[in-house]
Protein backbone atom coordinates (compact mmCIF):
# COMPACT_ATOMS: atom_id res chain seq x y z
CA UNK A 1 0.00 0.00 0.00
CA UNK A 2 1.16 3.54 -0.72
CA UNK A 3 1.47 5.75 2.27
CA UNK A 4 3.44 7.55 4.91
CA UNK A 5 4.91 5.54 7.78
CA UNK A 6 5.97 7.19 11.01
CA UNK A 7 7.80 5.39 13.77
CA UNK A 8 7.76 4.93 16.65
CA UNK A 9 4.13 5.73 17.49
CA UNK A 10 5.00 6.38 21.13
CA UNK A 11 8.36 7.41 22.53
CA UNK A 12 9.52 8.34 25.99
CA UNK A 13 12.66 10.34 26.56
CA UNK A 14 14.58 11.54 29.53
CA UNK A 15 15.55 15.19 29.66
CA UNK A 16 18.88 15.83 27.95
CA UNK A 17 18.54 13.02 25.42
CA UNK A 18 18.26 13.41 21.67
CA UNK A 19 15.65 11.31 19.88
CA UNK A 20 15.01 10.68 16.19
CA UNK A 21 11.56 10.22 14.69
CA UNK A 22 11.34 8.33 11.42
CA UNK A 23 9.18 9.25 8.42
CA UNK A 24 9.17 7.09 5.28
CA UNK A 25 6.92 7.49 2.23
CA UNK A 26 6.38 5.37 -0.86
CA UNK A 27 4.11 7.85 -2.64
CA UNK A 28 6.97 9.22 -4.74
CA UNK A 29 6.06 12.70 -3.50
CA UNK A 30 8.59 15.47 -3.79
CA UNK A 31 7.98 17.49 -0.66
CA UNK A 32 7.97 16.37 2.94
CA UNK A 33 7.09 18.24 6.11
CA UNK A 34 7.30 17.94 9.87
CA UNK A 35 4.61 19.51 12.02
CA UNK A 36 4.15 19.68 15.74
CA UNK A 37 0.66 19.54 17.23
CA UNK A 38 -0.18 20.78 20.72
CA UNK A 39 -3.67 21.05 22.22
CA UNK A 40 -5.40 24.29 21.25
CA UNK A 41 -2.56 25.45 18.99
CA UNK A 42 -3.15 23.73 15.70
CA UNK A 43 -0.30 22.45 13.57
CA UNK A 44 2.98 24.32 13.57
CA UNK A 45 5.62 23.80 10.89
CA UNK A 46 9.04 22.63 12.09
CA UNK A 47 10.92 21.87 8.84
CA UNK A 48 10.08 21.13 5.26
CA UNK A 49 11.98 19.74 2.28
CA UNK A 50 11.06 20.16 -1.36
CA UNK A 51 13.87 18.06 -2.85
CA UNK A 52 16.58 15.67 -1.76
CA UNK A 53 19.53 17.24 0.08
CA UNK A 54 17.62 20.46 0.66
CA UNK A 55 15.42 21.54 3.54
CA UNK A 56 14.14 24.76 5.07
CA UNK A 57 13.28 25.90 8.57
CA UNK A 58 9.67 26.38 9.44
CA UNK A 59 8.15 28.53 12.16
CA UNK A 60 9.47 26.58 15.16
CA UNK A 61 12.76 24.96 14.03
CA UNK A 62 14.80 25.76 17.15
CA UNK A 63 15.85 22.58 18.94
CA UNK A 64 15.13 20.34 15.95
CA UNK A 65 17.21 19.01 13.06
CA UNK A 66 16.41 17.07 9.89
CA UNK A 67 18.08 15.41 6.92
CA UNK A 68 16.85 14.48 3.45
CA UNK A 69 19.34 12.06 1.95
CA UNK A 70 16.69 10.05 0.10
CA UNK A 71 13.41 11.06 -1.49
CA UNK A 72 11.57 8.50 0.62
CA UNK A 73 12.91 9.49 4.02
CA UNK A 74 12.81 12.63 6.18
CA UNK A 75 13.87 11.88 9.78
CA UNK A 76 13.42 14.46 12.53
CA UNK A 77 15.79 14.71 15.50
CA UNK A 78 14.49 16.36 18.64
CA UNK A 79 17.57 17.61 20.44
CA UNK A 80 18.14 18.40 24.08
CA UNK A 81 18.01 22.09 23.11
CA UNK A 82 14.25 21.82 22.53
CA UNK A 83 12.81 23.17 25.79
CA UNK A 84 9.34 21.71 25.61
CA UNK A 85 9.50 18.63 23.37
CA UNK A 86 6.46 16.74 24.66
CA UNK A 87 4.02 16.84 21.73
CA UNK A 88 2.44 14.95 18.87
CA UNK A 89 4.65 15.03 15.76
CA UNK A 90 3.23 14.66 12.28
CA UNK A 91 5.00 14.01 9.00
CA UNK A 92 3.30 15.04 5.76
CA UNK A 93 3.94 14.99 2.02
CA UNK A 94 2.58 16.49 -1.15
CA UNK A 95 3.17 15.54 -4.76
CA UNK A 96 3.99 18.99 -6.07
CA UNK A 97 3.41 22.57 -5.04
CA UNK A 98 0.66 23.13 -7.63
CA UNK A 99 -1.73 20.41 -6.48
CA UNK A 100 -2.18 21.65 -2.94
CA UNK A 101 -3.16 18.39 -1.28
CA UNK A 102 -1.19 17.55 1.85
CA UNK A 103 -1.19 13.97 3.22
CA UNK A 104 -0.25 12.96 6.76
CA UNK A 105 1.25 10.01 8.51
CA UNK A 106 -0.24 8.55 11.70
CA UNK A 107 1.97 10.61 13.99
CA UNK A 108 4.47 10.00 16.78
CA UNK A 109 3.75 10.93 20.37
CA UNK A 110 6.87 12.03 22.26
CA UNK A 111 6.79 12.34 26.03
CA UNK A 112 9.69 13.73 28.02
CA UNK A 113 9.94 12.32 31.52
Partner 1 sequence: QKEVEQDPGPLSVPEGAIVSLNCTYSNSAFQYFMWYRQYSRKGPELLMYTYSSGNKEDGRFTAQVDKSSKYISLFIRDSQPSDSATYLCAMSVTGTYKYIFGTGTRLKVLA
User: Which residue, 26 or 56, is less far from partner 1 as judged by CB?
Assistant: 56
Binding mask 49-88 for partner 1 (x = CB under 8 A): -x-----x-------------------------------x
Residues making up the chain, counted from first to last: 113
Among 109, 65, 113, 60, CA closest to 87:
109
Evaluate whether 12 touches 111 at the Cβ level (below 8 Å): yes
Task: Tell me the C-alpha distance between 52 and 13, whole Å.
Answer: 29
Residue 109 as a binder of partner 1 (CB under 8 A): the answer is yes
Q: Does 42 bind partner 1 (CB under 8 A)?
A: yes
User: How do beta strands 64-66 and 4-7 pair?
Assistant: unpaired
Given 25, 34, 48, 68, the residue binding partner 1 (CB under 8 A): 48
Q: Which residues bind partner 1 (CB under 8 A)?
A: 4, 6, 31, 40-43, 45, 48, 50, 56, 88, 90, 97-98, 100-107, 109
Amino acid sequence: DGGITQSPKYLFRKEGQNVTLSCEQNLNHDAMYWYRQDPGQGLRLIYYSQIVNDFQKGDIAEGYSVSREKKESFPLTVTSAQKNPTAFYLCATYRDVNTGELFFGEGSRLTVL
